[in-house]
Structure formats: structure tokens, C-alpha cells
Structure 1
Amino acid sequence: MESHNIEKLLEKYFEATTTKAEEETLRDYFSKDGVAAHLAQYTPMFQYFSNAKEERFTKQVPLKPRKNFYRWASIAAVAVLAFGVYFGNDYREKKLEEQEKALIAYNETKKAFALLAENFNRGTEKVAYLNEFEETKQKIYNHN
């Protein structure tokens, strides 16, 4: 009857639903010599768990002092950010001044072209009078 209870505990153990007391019962059962033949395949596993629980690491681990890489990296990042804000703002202001100058130059050029177009239109009106004069002159020459 005990092997039937152990089988149920094994099922619960592999489903990860056992309590600490049930796991201790399984370890105790598999550490003794009276293990049922069909459950003998689990004996090495539980013996390994018992041995692994008692193992300790005894070597000294040399600890190197941590370098303050992250502190220096954060200081460098802040410096770059401040540099970028300071000179970036200056660059932005220069860019705005250049855009304003370009806009003023564009408006002045537009005015100059408007004046040129106005004068050109006056000149074409005068050429229309010349064309009329030329036609009249040709009529006179052709009749004579």
C-alpha cells in the first residue's frame, strides 16, 4: 500500500503540486533500501537532490572593485546634452536669422520683379503705338 501512496506523491511531484513535507517523504523513501522495483528508476534522482543540497562552494572568489563606468558614462552623457543644448540653441537662432534674411531678400526681389513687369507693360503699350504707326506708313507707301 505504501508504494501506491508514493506513486501518487510522484505524480504530484512531477506536476509541481507537492508540499515541502510531501517532498521530504519522497526523499526519505528513496534514500532507504526498501524501494519497490518499479520505482527504483527514481532513486538516483532523489539521491542526487539530497547530495546537491549538502554541497557548498568553498573557494574564495576574488572580487575586483567595480569601475565607475556608469557614473562616467552618465557624466559624459550630461556633458554632451548640455553642449548640444547650448550650441544647438545658438545654431537654431542663426538658422532663424538666415531664414528671416532670406524672406526679406525674397520680398525685395518680388517687389523688383513687380516694378520691372510694370515698366515692361508700359513699354509694350508704346510698342503698340509704333505698330500702328508702321501699319499706317505702309498703307501710305503702298498707295503711292
Structure 2
Amino acid sequence: MVLNNIEKLLDKYENGETSLKEEQQLKHYFSQETVAPHLEMYKPMFAYFLVNQQEQFTKDVPLNPDSYRDKRTFNYKWISVAAVAVLMLGFYFKEPIVSSYEAYAYGTFNKPEKALNEVTKSLAMISSHFNKGTSTVGYLNEVNKGTSTLGYLNEIENTTSIIFKN
């Protein structure tokens, strides 16, 4: 009777549905010397809960607000002031913006033939590097062929499971 009750309480405990009183019953049961053999695995867990429940914090807690103020807060204030000063100096000594079209015209060509030659040269270089990369990955097709032949193993497994199913 007691063992059935403990097993029901354990099921409720694992689902998170126990009350504090029911958890106390579980702790009391698992603190005894004799526990059912199939429930021995729960004994260390509840023993830990009992020991952990008796732990106490023994250090002094300072209640004076000046004692826990860090010097780091003071440093953080000055770091933020220095950051604002650096930003202000950066805005003050910033180079003037060039508003003409020439500021944005870097890298353009006056002759369309020259631009076409540069573009074809760039595309040829990209193509050669791309082809070099794809040639090194060509062995993956062979791996795919090998894994497709492993599909026959599934058929063998199905037939053996039918034979040994009885």
C-alpha cells in the first residue's frame, strides 16, 4: 500500500504536480534506510535535497551603502565623459564633405571600350577561380553513388526482419 502510494507520488513529482506536503512525504520515505530496490536510484536525489535544505549562508551582508560602492562605478563615469569628449573632437575636426560629382566618380572609365575590357578581364578571373573550386568538389558525385548503393542494405534489413519476426 505504501509502496503504491510512493510510486504514484513519484509519477506526480516527475510531472511537476506534487504539493509541498507530498514532496515532504517523498523526502521522508527516501531518507529511511530501507527503500524498495527499484526505487534506489531516487535516494541520492532526495538525500541531496535534504542536505541542501539545511545549508545556511554565513557571510556578513554589509548594510552600509558606502561599503559596497565600488571604485569601478567612479571609473565608468569618467570613461563615459572621455568617450563624449572624443566624439565631440571627432565631429569638430572632421574633414569637409566634397559635394561635387568628382567625389563619387572614382573607378569610372571615360572610354566604354576600356571599361568593357576591364569587365571581361574581371569576369574571366572570377570564372577561372570558380571552375577551380568546382573541380575539387567533383569527387562528391562518387560519394553519392556509393551511398545510393547502401540503399540495398535497407532491403536486406527488411527481409531479415520479416524472416526473424516469427
Give TM-score, length-normalised by structure 2.
0.45
Q: What's the Cα RMSD here?
A: 3.0
2: CA distance, partners of 1:18 / 1:72 = 53
**Higher relative contact order, structure no. (Cα contacts within 8 Å, ≥ 6 residues apart):** 1
Give the structure 1 partner of residue 88 of structure 2. 82
- The structure in which a higher percent of residues are helix is 1
The alignment covers a number of residue pairs equal to 95
1:51 shift after superposition: 0.6
Offset at residue 27 of structure 1 (A): 0.8
Aligned-partner Cα distance in 1 for 2:10–2:43:
12
Matches within 5 A, 1:50-129: 50-59=50-59, 65-68=70-73, 69-88=75-94, 91-92=95-96, 95-96=97-98
Partner of 1:31: 31
Alpha-carbon separation, structure 1, partners of 2:32 and 2:82? 64
* Identity, % of aligned positions: 46
What is the distance in 1 between the residues matched to 2:49 and 2:30?
Answer: 11
Deviations 1:71-106 (A, max 9, x none): 222112211121122222xx32xx44xx57x9xxxx
Bigger radius of gyration among the two:
1
- Distance in 2 separating the partners of 1:29 and 1:72: 60
Task: Give 1:46's aligned residue.
Answer: 46
Structure 2 letter corresponding to 1:65: D
Instruction: Give unmatched runs, 5+ long, in structure 2.
Output: 62-67, 103-166
Describe the shift of the 1:24–1:66 C-alpha distance in structure 2 as closer, same or farther (beyond 3 A): farther
Q: Deviations over 1:41-98 (max 9, x none)?
A: 322221121011111243569x78341332222112211121122222xx32xx44xx
Work out whether 1:8 is the aligned partner of 2:8.
yes
